[in-house]
Amino acid sequence: RQTDHIRIIGLIEAAADFAFEVLKPGGAFVVKAFQGGEMAGLIGVLKQRFAKVQHIKPKASRADSSEVYLAATGFKG
């Protein structure tokens, strides 16, 4: 599980790097993630580049699932 979490965070970071290159100011970035130790660092990076960062747990998600969505809006450019 720990290895999977690290790999998922790596993929999200790669997607975020791509978004930083192509998003226009005011743009948004949404990604599905799983809660874990590396999540705080990722949220910190997103907060530097976006005006607002939220983590959302959908009602449809099982209560015992670590699944969350990160929604970053207001890309600063």
Q: Which residues are catalytic?
A: 32
For CA atoms 5, 30, 48, 16, give the dihedral sign.
positive
Q: How far is CA 30 from CA 1, 2, 27, 67, in A?
A: 23, 23, 10, 13
